[in-house]
Each structure stands twice: as structure tokens, then as C-alpha cells.
């Protein structure tokens, strides 16, 4: 029952001619307005809906009292909207929006929904009902604060202090494999990396214990002794493997040494990938051997029992991490625990150079979600845009990897959309724009306009030829109309077909032989003509390979 509205560009608030969109209006109607153009095209959706804290003044509370929602409730559940609890109202607000968001996703698309502990259990059931339980991927736990300030007193009094929020993750195609590239967090030194290999010849290495090798480095050993990690005993220099992880964390010079030699520090691991026929014969204990196969290169050796085991280099784990400081460190691949974002929250008011007191999310958080699941040409949507962090994040990721991703944002409040969201996007464009990336150069500020159809199902009078032409061309071809080439009645051409639209005065848009004869277009062999009625005999339509589609009955509805 949600009416389909047209989108009207506000040239005063728009910047450039990129395909990025910022839509001002109720996000339910905005999502419906996007359907003809974006259904099945959005790779990533991130939303941060208003948390249900029990306040009756929450932003979307009035939406539950709309005639559409009341009618839907009574038809589907028999419940009177006046009898709803605050949880019911919140879910009623979310349900139709999530339904439309699912339709906009590509088949391999992913949706992230930020939520707190008030509604996560209800939201999980709602998402399961719409996407299916098998589409659930995970709950990301985000560390947004630590126990400090006023929280210390509460914690000492026995309260379980809240330090995290959650992001529910669902995929449209039921796949749990949503990541295109991993994210990395700094980690402690793994004590299993205890062997130092010295090159001999022909890809063969001599194995030594890592502590033994470190003890031979005079300057490093003395520094470790001064720091209390190593010592001299009656047997000589001594460094325990158990002390290396602590030294790595506390001693920068030692950490630099480990990173510099990471390609020669290895751990032993049970063979999992090689067949016996691929393992070289005649290996000697205390040696590491290079085994080159078609797919990759392996390091192998034998243990005291003659069992062949694989060696893994520490260098495979050393890189610049994705934490707040971009730490160069030993790392682990990040899972569903996203720590350290309380550091971003300490600077959150400065992000985007705009003030927004209703719960900004860190730019790094949204940027990393986008990096994790999208490629360079993907579309990202946020229908609860707020300050515009998601749009800023898209521009940020494009700047980092040279991508050409596009964003679609929806914000319902006038003052927020115009004074905060648009301002932040302009600030981001100034700082991140590159000439090689057209979608970093601007955005179109759109407003919800007239409905396409009136109460009787006819085309609404405010609708113009260009409005309807854009609609019919995209719904027929899944391509955007080139407005510079379109000229009534010619709409555009696609796949050996010219498209025409007769649309001037209501009831006078008739396809006649004379009109048909004047329709040239590009001269494509096939033609599609939209009009109110057709007076051309069927035989002539067949001879000229023309398909007539009657307005409004042949228009695809969403």
C-alpha cells in the first residue's frame, strides 16, 4: 500500500553530476521510489535504525500510526495499533522497511543492521522471518566503550556495564561466505613461532631455536637483559621462549627485530594439504626444505619421530593492521569480535566536521564493513543516513583502493538532511575527491515528489514526460535513460530496440499510423511504444516490428 513517488532533484543542494544519491524523505516511501531503479542492484546495505529506548518521541513513532501500517496490522494480525507496546511499534516500523531493503539487494548482497541490547532479540526474529533463518551470518560485537569515567562507579557497585553494541549480518543468498578480503587485528606474539631458519643452498635451511639465535645478537641480548627478559647464568646466555611474547609487546627494538626477520621465523604444523607422493625423500632432521608445486610453495621438515610436518613463516602474519592506529604488527584475521572502536568514539564529534548528537557511528567501522564485502563498482545503501557516515565511508574506501562505488542515502528530517548530511558529504568530497573517480565528485540531492499514480490508478497530473520516460525505460531495460539523447516521443535504445512514449495530455496520447511513421529513433529493428491507446492495425504493427504497451496498464508496478 505504500505509494510510489517520483524523485525530484534539488539543484541548489546537489553537487556535480555523479550517481550518488541523498534522498530527503520518509525512508519507507523513498525505498519504494528506488525500487524500479535499484531492485536487485545493491550489494551492501548498512542501517543504524533508531534504538528503542522506550521514549515515545522517537523519530519513527508516528509512522506506526500511518493509515498504511494500521491497515496492514488489522489485516495481517487483527491487532489495533492503539494496543501496541513500544516493542510492537518498533517492529512495525522496521518490518516493511526490511522487506523493501531485501528486494533491493543483489543475490549475493549483504545487510548489516546496528542495534543495541534493547531490540536485538526482536530484530533477530524479524530478520529471520524476512530473510530466512539460513540467511543469518553472524552477530558482530563492536567494542564502543570501556569501563571508565562514570562507568567505573557502576561497575564497582556490581553492575554489568555495557561496553558494546551489535551488528546483525544477513546475506540474501543464504551464504555465510560474505567476505571478499579479510580484516586484520594486532595480536600477541604466538610462541609456536620458535624456530629460526638459516639458508643453506637449493632451497634448504638449517633450523635453530629462536631464543638461541637471539642470544647471539650482542646488542639485542643486552637490551633484553636490561629490560628483564633475558639473563646470564652459569651455563651462559639464557632467554626463555616464554618471555618472547612479553618482550615483543613491551620492547619496540625487539619487536622491530622480529618484524625484520619474520621471513626466517617459522612454526611447525601438521601436514594437511600434501599427499605422501608429493613429499620429498631423504629429509634430515633439523633441516627445512622448500617444496615447489604447481599451486604454491611449501616449507617442510621431519620431527624426532620422522613424521613430515609443514613450516609456516611468521611473515605471513606480519602486516599493517586494521586497528585505530594501523599498527604494523603480528596479526590475526578478525572474526565477529571488533575491538577498539571506543578509540574512534573519543574523536567521533570531529568526524565529517559536523555536529550530530543522535549516535554517529565511527567512519572506520563503516569503511571496514564496506571494504569487507564490496568490490569497486558496487552500490551501498543506507536508509537511516543520519549524519551521512555511510556516504563518507564509501568516498573514503574509494579513495583508498581507487574504486568507483556509489552510495544511496535516505534521511527523513529536513534539518538533518540539508544542514548535516549534505554538509558532511560536501566536506568529504573536498578532502577525498580524485579526478579518476567520477563518483567521488558529488551527489544528487533528491526529494520525494508526486505519486506516479492517482487514486484511480491513472498517471498523476504532476507527472511529466521525462518522469514517465525515465520510469518506463528503466523498468523495461534495467538501464538508466540518457536524458541528453531523449526527446519526446523518443526515450532511448537498448538491445536492438527503440523505445517511445506518447505522453502529453491525458486521453490524447494515441498511437496512429501517422505518428508511427514519424518515429525514427536510432533505426533499430524493433520498437516499443507506450501510449493510451492504439489505432494502428495489428498487421502494420507486426510488419514494422512494433510492440504497443498501453498506459497505465502495461506499466510495471512495484
What letter would DSSP give residue 142? Answer: E
SS3 assignment, position 353 = helix
For residue 460, being part of any structural domain is answered with no
Residue 62, pLDDT score: 45
Residue 74, pLDDT score: 61
Share of the chain above pLDDT 90, in %: 72
Task: Give me the torsion for CA of 223, 228, 230, 236, rounded to 10°.
Answer: 100
CB neighbourhood size of 248 (10 A): 21
What rounded mean pLDDT belongs to the chain? 90
The pLDDT tens digits for 180-215 are 999 999 999 999 999 999 999 889 999 999 999 999
Mean pLDDT lowest for which of 69-83, 229-243, 414-428, 479-493?
Answer: 69-83
Mean pLDDT lowest for which of 57-71, 190-204, 540-554?
Answer: 57-71
Q: For cell 531495460, what's the residue?
A: 477
pLDDT surpasses 80 at 66: no
The answer to whether residues 297 and 412 belong to one domain is: no
pLDDT surpasses 80 at 533: yes
Residue 17, pLDDT score: 84
Domain boundary among 451, 473, 507: 451
SS3 assignment, position 322 = coil
Phi/psi of residue 446, nearest 5 degrees = -115, 150
Give the count of domains, the chain. Answer: 3
328-333: strand order across its sheet: 184-186, 328-333, 318-320
The answer to whether residues 359 and 477 belong to one domain is: no
Q: How far is CA 312 from CA 109, 318, 319, 328, in A?
A: 35, 12, 15, 19
The answer to whether residues 128 and 168 belong to one domain is: yes
The answer to whether residues 19 and 90 belong to one domain is: yes
The pLDDT tens digits for 440-499 are 779 999 999 999 988 888 899 889 999 999 999 999 998 889 989 999 999 999 999 999
Tell me whether residue 453 is exposed, middle or buried, using C-beta atoms within 10 angstroms of its C-beta: 0 to 12, 13 to 18, 19 or more: middle
pTM above 0.85, yes or no: yes
pLDDT surpasses 80 at 406: yes
Alpha-carbon distance of 95 to 444, in angstroms, equals: 28
For residue 324, being part of any structural domain is answered with no
Task: Give me the torsion for CA of 474, 480, 486, 488, rounded to 10°.
Answer: 20
The pLDDT tens digits for 130-171 are 999 999 999 999 999 999 988 999 999 999 999 999 999 999
Pairing of strands 297-302, 510-511: unpaired
Closest by CA position to 395, among listed 361, 367, 414, 423: 367
Q: Which residue has the higher pLDDT, 536 or 483?
A: 536
Give the angle 123-124-130 at the CA atoms, nearest 5°: 85
* CATH assignment at residue 122: 3.40.50.150
The answer to whether residues 410 and 513 belong to one domain is: no
The answer to whether residues 204 and 314 belong to one domain is: yes
Mean pLDDT lowest for which of 379-393, 407-421, 426-440?
Answer: 426-440
pLDDT surpasses 60 at 372: yes
Q: Give the containing element (helix H, strand E) for 380.
A: strand 379-382
The answer to whether residues 216 and 349 belong to one domain is: no
Amino acid at each position: 500500500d505504500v505509494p510510489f513517488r517520483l524523485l525530484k532533484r534539488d539543484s541548489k543542494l546537489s553537487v556535480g553530476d555523479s550517481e550518488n544519491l541523498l534522498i530527503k524523505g520518509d525512508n519507507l516511501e523513498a525505498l519504494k521510489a528506488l525500487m524500479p531503479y535499484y531492485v536487485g542492484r545493491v550489494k551492501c546495505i548498512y542501517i543504524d535504525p533508531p534504538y528503542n529506548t522506550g521514549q515515545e518521541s522517537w523519530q519513527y513513532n508516528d509512522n506506526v500510526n500511518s493509515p498504511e501500517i494500521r491497515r496492514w496490522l488489522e489485516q495481517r494480525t487483527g491487532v489495533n495499533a492503539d494496543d501496541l507496546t513500544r516493542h510492537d511499534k518498533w517492529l512495525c516500523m522496521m518490518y516493511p522497511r526490511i522487506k523493501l531493503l531485501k528486494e533491493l539487494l543483489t543475490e549475493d548482497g549483504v545487510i548489516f543492521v546496528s542495534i543495541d541490547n534493547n531490540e536485538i532479540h526482536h530484530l533477530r526474529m524479524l530478520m529471520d522471518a524476512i530473510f530466512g533463518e539460513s540467511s543469518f551470518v553472524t552477530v558482530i560485537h563492536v567494542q564502543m566503550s570501556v569501563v571508565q569515567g562514570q562507568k567505573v562507579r557502576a561497575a564497582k557497585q556490581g553492575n554489568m556495564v555495557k561496553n558494546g553494541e551489535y551488528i546483525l549480518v544477513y546475506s540474501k543468498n543464504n551464504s555465510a561466505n560474505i567476505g571478499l578480503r579479510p580484516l586484520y587485528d594486532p595480536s600477541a606474539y604466538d610462541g609456536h613461532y620458535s624456530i629460526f631458519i638459516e639458508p643453506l643452498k637449493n632451497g634448504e635451511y638449517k633450523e635453530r631455536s629462536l631464543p638461541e639465535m637471539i642470544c647471539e645478537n650482542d646488542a639485542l641480548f643486552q637490551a633484553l637483559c636490561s629490560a628483564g627478559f633475558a639473563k646470564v647464568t652459569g651455563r651462559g646466555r639464557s632467554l626463555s621462549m616464554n618471555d618472547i611474547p612479553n618482550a615483543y609487546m613491551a620492547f619496540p627494538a625487539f619487536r622491530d627485530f622480529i618484524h625484520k626477520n619474520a621471513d626466517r621465523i617459522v612454526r611447525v604444523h601438521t601436514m594437511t594439504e600434501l599427499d605422501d607422493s608429493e613429499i620429498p625423500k631423504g629429509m634430515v632432521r633439523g633441516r627445512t626444505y622448500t617444496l615447489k608445486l604447481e599451486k604454491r610453495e611449501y616449507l617442510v621438515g621431519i620431527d624426532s619421530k620422522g613424521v613430515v610436518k609443514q613450516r609456516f613463516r611468521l611473515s605471513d602474519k606480519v602486516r599493517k593492521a586494521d586497528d585505530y592506529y594501523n599498527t604494523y604488527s603480528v596479526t590475526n584475521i578478525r572474526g565477529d569480535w571488533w575491538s577498539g572502536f571506543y578509540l574512534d568514539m573519543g574523536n567521533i564529534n570531529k568526524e565529517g566536521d559536523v555536529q550530530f548528537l543522535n549516535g554517529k557511528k565511527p567512519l572506520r567501522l563503516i569503511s571496514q564493513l564496506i571494504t569487507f564485502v564490496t568490490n569497486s563498482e558496487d552500490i551501498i545503501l543506507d536508509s537511516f543516513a543520519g549524519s551521512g557516515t555511510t556516504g563518507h565511508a564509501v568516498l573514503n574506501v574509494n579513495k583508498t583502493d581507487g574504486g568507483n562505488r556509489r552510495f544511496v542515502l535516505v534521511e527523513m528530517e529536513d534539518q538533518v538532511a540539508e544542514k548535516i548530511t549534505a554538509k558532511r558529504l560536501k566536506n568529504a568530497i573536498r578532502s577525498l575527491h580524485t579526478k579518476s573517480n567520477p563518483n567521488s565528485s558529488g551527489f544528487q540531492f533528491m526529494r520525494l515528489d508526486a505519486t506516479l499514480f492517482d487514486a484511480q490508478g491513472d498517471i498523476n497530473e504532476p507527472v511529466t514526460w521525462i518522469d514517465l520516460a525515465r520510469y518506463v525505460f528503466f523498468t523495461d531495460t534495467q538501464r538508466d535513460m540518457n536524458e541528453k539523447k531523449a526527446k519526446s516521443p523518443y526515450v532511448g535504445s537498448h538491445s536492438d530496440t527503440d523505445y517511445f512514449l506518447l505522453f502529453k495530455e491525458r486521453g490524447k496520447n494515441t498511437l496512429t499510423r501517422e505518428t508511427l511513421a514519424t518515429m525514427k529513433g536510432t533505426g533499430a529493428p524493433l520498437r516499443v511504444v507506450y501510449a493510451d491507446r492504439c489505432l494502428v492495425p495489428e498487421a502494420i504493427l507486426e510488419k514494422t516490428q512494433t510492440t504497443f504497451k498501453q498506459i497505465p496498464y502495461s506499466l510495471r508496478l512495484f
